[in-house]
Amino acid sequence: MDHLSEHTYRQSIRLVRALHQLGKRIGPDRLDTSLENLTVTQLRILSALKDQPDMAAPDLVEALDMPPATVTEALKPMIRDSLVSLRPDDADANIPRFSLGAQGQRAAYNVEAQQIVTIAELLGSLDNEEQGRTVEALERLLDARPPQPSDA
């Protein structure tokens, strides 16, 4: 990291601040009222289960990179409210598997739809060329990111 320029560090600080502000604009406070009581952890669970249905508990914990107790506590009201369904693993009944219930599927898609609408509103303030450059730059950043410990 010592080889990075002072300019790159300053730009990194600006990017972190901008992403933080963007997160506030598309975060849980912008969700429809049916989702407003969900925690950030619960929203992450919805997203993970939307991307990978029927996930075993250890895989969900790993995907979220959170302590098992945190995930378990977040799941309890979600199971009670039929956002998430629970079933035993076919190979090992001691391992729970989770998937989205009908309400969870609606909630997950509502979250994504709200984020898309909000991002579209933000991008709408840029001209077409600026929109393309912004999206391309973020995609390049994601493609170039160093491997994370959970990627190994």
pLDDT tens-digit map of 116-149: 777 887 788 888 898 888 888 888 887 886 655 5
Residue carrying structure tokens 């060329």: 129
pLDDT at 31: 47
pLDDT for res 141: 81
**Distance in angstroms between the alpha carbons of the first and the last residue of the chain:** 21
Q: Is the pTM of this model over 0.75?
A: no
Q: Which residues are CB-neighbours of 32 under 8 A, at least 6 positions away?
A: 110, 114
pLDDT of residue 9: 67
Mean pLDDT to the nearest integer, 64-90: 93
* Separation between Cα atoms, residue 62 and residue 130, nearest integer Å: 36
Three-state SS sequence of the chain: CCCCCHHHHHHHHHHHHHHHHHHHHHCHHHCCHHHCCCCHHHHHHHHHHHHCCCEEHHHHHHHHCCCHHHHHHHHHHHHHCCCEEEEECCCCCCCEEEEECHHHHHHHHHHHHHHHHHHHHHHCCCCHHHHHHHHHHHHHHHHHCCCCHHHC
pLDDT attached to residue 26:
65
Residue ranges covered by each domain of the chain: 36-144
Distance CA 107, CA 35 (A): 7
pLDDT tens sequence across 2-25:
566 776 767 777 777 777 677 666
- Which is it for strands 84-88 and 55-56: parallel, antiparallel or unpaired? unpaired
Alpha-carbon distance of 112 to 40, in angstroms, equals 14
Domain 36-144: give its CATH architecture.
Orthogonal Bundle (1.10)
Is 63's pLDDT higher than 70? yes
The pLDDT, as a whole number, for residue 152 is 44
Residue whose structure tokens are 């098992």:
68
| pLDDT tens digits along 22-55 | 766 666 554 444 566 788 888 889 889 988 989 9
